Chain A
Amino acid sequence: AQSVTQPDIHITVSEGASLELRCNYSYGATPYLFWYVQSPGQGLQLLLKYFSGDTLVQGIKGFEAEFKRSQSSFNLRKPSVHWSDAAEYFCAVGPTGGGNKLTFGTGTQLKVEL
């Protein structure tokens, strides 16, 4: 069965600092990988996704993520964090056989200090 681990429950960074949110997955083959962001009391918005090809993917709001097969990781990065990035971030994995049943991680809450 597929699974996702986000080892950091909370992360605090200063505005302007770089950010890396960790995500590790367990899946038998190369999965579809996603990062979503959720503002308080809101639904989820897709930041970026990886299906195949270039292992460094660019997303919205200046985010990027790198797929590393050897480490079963798909970490999310941003070179300079803005106060508006404070939110909860979810990593998710989907089956490469198609279908839309995603498995989500438990989320990482990002706090940005001014």
Chain B
Amino acid sequence: DGGITQSPKYLFRKEGQNVTLSCEQNLNHDDMYWCRQEPGLGLRLIYYSQIVNDFQKGDIAEGYSVSREKKESFPLTVTSAQKNPTAFYLCASSIDKAGTYNEQFFGPGTRLTVL
């Protein structure tokens, strides 16, 4: 079955530690996204990528980094510079067809908690 997988489901981070969240898709989608979700704030875009080896900052990129070495994979690193990382992180992907909106498919999410 095609879809998006995220791992781990739960992640705990100590102060000053970098952690990496995994996102993999087998939908052959060009575009991939990372969003952060918190109660009362909805979903906010962290980073997105439309092609391998290229990505753009979203609205809240500070303290995060990404890579896109393969079309299928878009890992997110939460660095120690991110002072308030506790949140639910969602990865999404979509095709990239010009001139229209292309539906985003979401993964099941990773819940990150700072200890």
Contacts and interface: CB of A to CB of B under 8 A. Distances in A.
Nearest to B41: A106
Interface in B75-115: 90, 92, 94, 96, 98-104, 106-109, 111
Interface in A12-47: 32, 41-46
Interface size class of B (residues with CB under 8 A): 20 to 34
A90 interface: yes
B48 interface: yes
Interface stretch (A53-61, A68-76, A78-86, A95-103): A95-103
Given A100-B31, A100-B101, A44 B106 contact: yes
A107 to B, nearest CB: 6
B99 A98 contact: yes
Interface of B: 4, 31, 33, 35, 40-45, 48, 58, 90, 92, 94, 96, 98-104, 106-109, 111
Interface of A: 4, 9, 32, 41-46, 49, 51, 90, 94, 98-102, 104-107
24 contacts: A9-B40, A32-B101, A41-B109, A41-B111, A43-B106, A44-B43, A44-B90, A44-B106, A45-B106, A46-B104, A51-B100, A51-B101, A94-B101, A98-B98, A98-B99, A100-B33, A100-B104, A101-B45, A101-B58, A104-B35, A104-B42, A105-B42, A106-B40, A106-B41
